[in-house]
Structure 1
Amino acid sequence: MPQRSNRRELLADAAIEVLAREGGRGLTHRAIDREAEVPEGTTKNYYPTRSALFLAIAHYLAAQHTAALEGLRSQIPADVTGEDITALYAAMLRRMSTSARSQFLALFELHLEAVRNPEVRAALADITKANVDTAVQLHAAVDRRMSRRGAGLLDAGMLGVALSMLSLPDDLVEELGFDDADGLARALLTLGSVRDGSAIGVLRDFAS
């Protein structure tokens, strides 16, 4: 386990790994202690209940994600192109199922928890808002209009595709084209950019 600057960060990273690997039922104080390689009882001292554990993970992921996207929005190159944006979203899809697999599996578990936990729901809302703000600003940078509604549709599509990539058998993922990150990113970006009345046509073209 890598060294962390503070104990809460160490426990949060360990909790993400446990949640991703074991699911909600396996998220226990002892499991996190073992993952973080800290004395038994450490996690419980910081987060006394399971609800506190879920909320801590949600806040930690939201803080990391929103900070990363704020950095991205502040450094959009003046010469950015539409193809650059497509490549960025394709890279995000690949990352969801590779280097950031644990974070996204934990995120899906948090979405399930949020159905019953309003505090977790609020933290996830911060993630979605950051995604929406970023999509709108990126498209404005290349003189393309994307409404917040369209950006929300893009965000939901990205999550849905990532969930399919992570949960379906490999042969079905390949058959459905869910292993084509570039094509998926292009289709999702197009769908998010069109006006409401044109969405059916975009879906028809993608399905053909």
Structure 2
Amino acid sequence: MNRPHRRRSDNRRELLCDCAISVLAAEGGRGLTHRAVDRAAEVPEGTTKNYFPTRESLLEAAAGRMTRLHAEAVGRLRDTTPRGITPTEVARLYPGLLHRAVREDPTQLLAMVELYLEAVRRPGVREALGRMASSNARASAGLHTAAGLPGSPRDAGVLDAYFLGTAVTLLALPDEALRTVGMDDLHALGTRLFHAAVPGTPDDDPAHHQAGPTG
């Protein structure tokens, strides 16, 4: 598997966290070592261990970094949302988000899955992911409120969970299986996820039913 593209930060701590995310995505949880992050960051051996002495502290730092990156992304989306945006227009954002997460650069998604697995046994990682989920839900709820939707963090949290599960399925299953189970149209999937999780948004837009497979 090719190593996913990683973003570069001028801040050493952030750089190491970004590279830890990249290693998680490329190599999985077992491949996340201090030396692997040193190599990915192109820093002297031992640098990562100086910043994050234990593997758990490295995992927690990676989860915290992802929390900040996700909050920034949702914040930018909210800040650039035009006034008067409609629920239908908000719904149309989700197919694009799903496409980017799965088809363009799955680094964040793959790393997220690995962190979720680690969180089952590591309380510190679980707490970091909990902060991420809560932050994402509040930010998404604010976007929904701007469109005149109920804007409940609970609804936004359910939508995030639907989104994650769907995205993982799209990455894991072969195309033939996705066609068999009716998940080969990313546009339809993204729209349906939104309508399934957010109340007061009847799935009355026929456009996605006419769209061909985008996967």
Q: Deviations over 1:85-114 (max 9, x none)?
A: 122111111111133311110011001111
User: Which of 123, 129, 134 is the matching residue for 1:129?
Assistant: 134
Answer whether contact 1:110 1:120 (CA < 8 A) is retained. yes
Q: What pairs with 1:65-76 in structure 2 (closer than 5 Å)?
A: 65-76=70-81
Q: Deviations over 1:144-177 (max 9, x none)?
A: 3253332222111000001101111222123333
**Paired AA for residue 130 in structure 1:** S
In structure 2, the partner of 1:139 is: 144
Three-state SS of the structure 1 residue aligned to 2:103 is coil
Distance in 1, Cα, partners of 2:183 & 2:37: 33
Q: What pairs with 1:96-135 in structure 2 (closer than 5 Å)?
A: 96-135=101-140
In structure 1, the partner of 2:176 is: 171
Q: Deviations over 1:25-60 (max 9, x none)?
A: 111111111111111111111111111110110011
Identity of aligned residues (%): 45
Distance in 1, Cα, partners of 2:36 & 2:164: 27
User: Which of 180, 183, 198 is the matching residue for 2:185?
Assistant: 180
Change (3 A) 1:134 1:67: same
Q: Aligned-pair RMSD on alpha carbons?
A: 2.2
Moved more, 8-17 or 20-29: 8-17
Distance in 1, Cα, partners of 2:37 & 2:130: 25
User: Which of 62, 76, 84 is the matching residue for 1:79?
Assistant: 84
More helix by share: 1
**Paired AA for residue 57 in structure 2:** A
**Paired AA for residue 94 in structure 1:** H
Distance in 2, Cα, partners of 1:136 & 1:3: 30
In structure 2, the partner of 1:151 is: 156
Three-state SS of the structure 2 residue aligned to 1:97 is helix
Matched residue count? 197
TM-score of the aligned structures, taking structure 2 as reference length:
0.82
TM-score of the aligned structures, taking structure 1 as reference length:
0.85
Answer whether contact 2:98 2:163 (CA < 8 A) is retained. yes
Answer whether contact 2:163 2:193 (CA < 8 A) is retained. yes
Change (3 A) 1:167 1:186: same
Structure 1 residue runs of 5 or longer lacking an equivalent are 199-205
